[in-house]
Amino acid sequence: MFNKSKTTNVKKADEIILEGISLSKGIAIGPLFVYDSQKVSLKPIKISFEAIESEISNFKTVLKQVRKELQIIKKNVQEKVGEQKAQILDVQMMILRDPELHSKVEDKVRLQRIKWDFIFSEIMTEYHDSLLGIKDSVLRERAFDVHDVKMRVLKRSSSLIPKDTKFRDGAIVVAEILTPTELIDVSKAKASGFVTDFGGVNSHLAIIANALGFGGISGSGKLYSKLANLANSMAILDGRVGKLIVNPTLESLKNYQAEKIKFKRTQTLFTNQRLEEASTEGGISINLSLNLSLETDFHLAKKFNAQGVGLFRTEHLLLDKADYPTEKTQTEIYKKLAKHCFPYSARIRTFDIGGEKLVGNFNLPTQINPSLGWRGIRISLEEIEVFKTQIKAILRANTSGNLEILLPMVSKISEFRKAKELIEEAKEELLQKNKKFNPEIKVGVMIEIPSAALTADIFAKEADFFSIGTNDLTQYTLAVDRSNNLVSDIYTPTHLAVLRILKLVLDSAKKEKISVNICGEMAGNILTIPLLIGMGFEGLSVSPSSIPTVREVINKTDLNLLKQLSAEVFETTENEQVRKILTDFKEEHFKEGLGD
C-alpha cells in the first residue's frame, strides 16, 4: 500500500510516451534494439600451488591487452571528437594501471589460490558499488568507468560471452547500463540513438554522446524494464526533452521527421552563433559563467566564450587520493584555471567534502545525517592547516588577479569571519616565507543554507560576492531529499518559499552593491532562466553543455516581458500556478524550439 513507483502496463500496439532525462540532444527514429545486460556470475575456481605465478602472469597479460584496446579506441575517438573529450578514456587506463588493484588481485590469488578473474570481478564490483552509493554526480560517474573496465577485462579473458550487437541501421539502442566505450561501439555500428537506465547530464556517457551528435536519454532506473519486451518496435527518441515515443502514430512520425530535418538545420546555425554575448533584447548583459569540476575542462571557458568560471569544485582534486594535494600541486592547477579564464574571474570553492561529497580515502566519521553534518566550511574551520594550505595555493596562483575564494556550507556570520581570519593568517605565513602572492582577493559566500539566506543582509556587509546554490537551498528549505523517489516530486525549485528566499538574497546583495550569481540547476533550466532574469539576477553559472542553450534563451527574450513574468509569479499564492505561468511563457516564446 506504500508503493509510490509510477509504472504503467504497456500494450505493444498502443503509442507509448515515456519520459526520461536528456543526456544528449538529437532526434532519432528507428526500431528499438534491446542490448542485453550481462550479469557476471563467476565461481571461485581453485588452482594448484604450482599454477599461482602462471595465473598472475595471465592477469597482467589481459590487463596489458585491454590497455592497448583502449589506446586504439582513444585514438579513434580523438579523431572524431577531439583530444580533450578523448581524455575521458584516460581514467579507465589509470584504473588498469592502479598498483593497489594489481597488489590486491595478486595477493588474493596467492593467499586463496583462486583464479584471478573471480577475484578481479569481486574487487571491481566492490569499487563500483561504493562509488555508486555517492550522491555527488562527478564521483558517481567513476562507478561506470569501473564497470566498463571490469566488463572489458572479463570479456578479454573469455570469462564473458560478448553481447549481440547486430542491429539494423538507425536502431535506437536500449540498455540498462551503457558505458562510454560501448556507446562508441554502437555509434560505429550506425545506431541512431540510445536509452539507458543510468547516467547523468554531466556523465562521461553524455559528454561523448553530445560530441558524437548522438541523441540519448536516461531513465533513472525506470526505462529498461518497460522496454525489454518491446524489441524491434518502431520508436522516436527526442533527446532535446528526454522523451521516447514507442509505436508512434503516423501523425507523430510525420511531425518528427519534419522536426528532425529542422533540428539539423538549426544546429548548423546554432553552432555558428554560440560565441555571441548573452544579453536580453532590452539591452541587459547577463554574466554567463561555467561550473567546472575537472582540470581537463578548463579550456571550455574560452571555447564557449563564457565570462569566466562561476564555480570550480576543488573537492574533485581529491579523487582517488589518500591525502590532500600539496600547496605546490594546487598552486599549479589554480594558475592554469586563472590563465584559461583571463580576463574574467574564476571562483574557487574551497574543499566541500563530507556529507554526500566523500572523496578519496579520508577517514571521516560516520554520520547519521551527513548532509546536515560535518562538511564544507565546518571541516575547514577544524582542519585549519588543510584550509590554509589551499588558501595559500590560491593566493600564490592569483598573479593575474582574477581568482576569487568561495566558502561553502556557511550557516552563520561567525563562520565567515573565522574563515577570513584564517585567510589573513595564510597571507602572513606566506610573507614570512618570502613567497610571492597577491594579497588582494575577493572572498564570497555560497548561499545554500536557509539560515545564511535569511541573514543575507548581514553577510552582504562583509562578503565580496554571493553565489547561490539553488540545489541544496531548495532541499533544505523544503526539507526534501531530491534523490529519494518517494518524495522527489516535492522537490520544486519554483516553490514560492524558494523564490522569496532568492529575492531576499538578491535584494540584500544589491543594497550593498555586491555581485550575486546563481550556480544551481535553476540557472540552466529553460523554464526558470526567464524568471531569474526578470527578478533581477545578472549572473548565471551553468555546466558547459548548457551554455549555448542558456545564451540563446537570454538573447531571445525581452527584458520588459521578463519583468512582467516575474511580477505575475510573485503575485500568485499557488505553487502549481507558478509552474503553469512559467510553462505557458516557455511555450509562447520558445514554441519553435531552441538550437539544442
pLDDT at res. 206: 80
pLDDT tens digits along 408-433: 999 999 999 999 999 999 999 999 99
Query: Domain 451-596 classified CATH 3.40.50.720?
Result: no
Helical H runs in 469-538? 470-478, 496-511, 529-535
Higher pLDDT, 520 or 503: 503
Residue 161 confidence class, pLDDT cut points 50, 70, 90 = low
Q: Tell me the domain boundaries of the chain.
A: 16-34+169-250, 49-156, 285-447, 451-596
Angle between helices 99-112 and 52-81 (to 10 degrees): 150
Name which of 1-10, 239-248, 455-464 the model is least confident about.
1-10
| 40 pLDDT above the threshold of 70 | no
Catalytic pick among 128, 204, 316, 495: 204
Q: What does the pLDDT read at residue 282?
A: 60
From CA 550, how far away is CA 288, in angstroms rounded?
8
More confident residue, 336 or 67: 336
Report in angstroms the alpha-carbon separations of 7 from 18, 51, 222, 227, 298: 10, 51, 8, 12, 41
pLDDT in tens, 235-286: 999 998 889 999 999 999 999 999 888 777 666 555 555 555 666 666 678 9
User: What's the whole-number average pLDDT of the chain?
Assistant: 84
Place of cell 551528435: 213
Helix/strand/coil for 548: helix
Gap between the Cα atoms of 135 and 130, Å rounded: 11
Given its phi and psi angles, is residue 215 left (phi above 0), alpha (psi -120 to 50 degrees) or beta?
A: beta
In one-letter notation, the amino acid at residue 242 is G
Q: Are 27 and 256 in contact (CB under 8 A)?
A: yes
Bigger pLDDT: 464 or 587? 464
Binned at pLDDT 50, 70 and 90, residue 85 comes out as: low
In whole angstroms, give the CA distance from residue 200 to residue 242: 12
* Separation of first and last alpha carbons in the chain: 41
**What's the DSSP call for residue 317?**
G
Whether 49-156 and 16-34+169-250 are alike in CATH topology: the answer is no
Known catalytic residue at 204: yes
Ranked by mean pLDDT, the top range of 14-18, 32-36, 507-511 is 507-511
CB of 463 within 8 A of CB of 486? Answer: no
Architecture label for domain 16-34+169-250:
3-Layer(bba) Sandwich (3.50)
Torsion angle (degrees, nearest 10) of CA 315, 452, 444, 461: -170
Asked if 226 contacts 6 with a C-beta cutoff of 8 angstroms, the reply is no
The 10 Å Cβ neighbour count of residue 455 is: 16
Q: Cell 585491454 maps to which residue?
A: 66
Compare 320 and 326 and report the one with higher pLDDT.
Answer: 326
Rounded Cα distance, 335 and 323, in Å: 21
Copy the grid coordinates of residue 242: 528526454
Pick the CATH number of 49-156 from 1.10.3720.10, 1.10.10.10, 1.10.274.10, 3.40.50.2000: 1.10.274.10
- The bridge status of strand 172-175 relative to strand 27-35 is parallel
Write down the pLDDT at residue 370.
58
Is pLDDT above 90 for 434? Answer: yes
Between 336 and 240, the higher pLDDT residue = 336
Rg of the chain over Cα atoms, rounded to whole angstroms, equals 25
Using alpha carbons, list the distances in angstroms from residue 178 to 9, 147, 232, 236, 544.
25, 10, 19, 19, 22
- Read off the pLDDT band of 202 (50, 70, 90): low
d(CA 137, CA 359): 12
Residue 535 has pLDDT above 50, yes or no: yes
Which residues face 34 on adjacent strands? 174
Question: Parallel, antiparallel, or unpaired for β 346-349 and 403-407?
Answer: parallel
**Structure-model confidence comparison of residues 126 and 133, the more confident one:** 126
Q: What is the pLDDT of residues 340-383, one digit of tens each?
A: 999 999 999 999 876 444 444 445 555 556 566 677 899 999 99
Q: Distance of alpha carbon 281 from its chain centroid, rounded?
A: 31
Looking at the predicted structure, is the pLDDT value of residue 25 above 60? yes
Identify the CA nearest to 543 among candidates 306, 253, 208, 315.
306
CA 307 to chain centre: 20
Place of cell 575564494: 405
Distance between CA atoms of residues 50 and 471, nearest Å: 57
Answering whether pTM is above 0.75, one says no
Dump the DSSP string for 334-384: HHHHHHHHTTS-EEEEPP--STT---TT--PPP-SSGGGSS-THHHHTTSH
What is each CA distance from 412 to 197, 407, 586, in whole angstroms?
40, 12, 38
CATH for the stretch 285-447: 3.20.20.60
What is the distance between the alpha carbons of residues 376 and 536, in angstroms, rounded to a whole number? 29
Residue 574 in contact with residue 556, Cβ under 8 Å?
no
Distance CA 162, CA 155 (A): 7
Contacts of 41 (CB under 8 A, 6+ apart): none
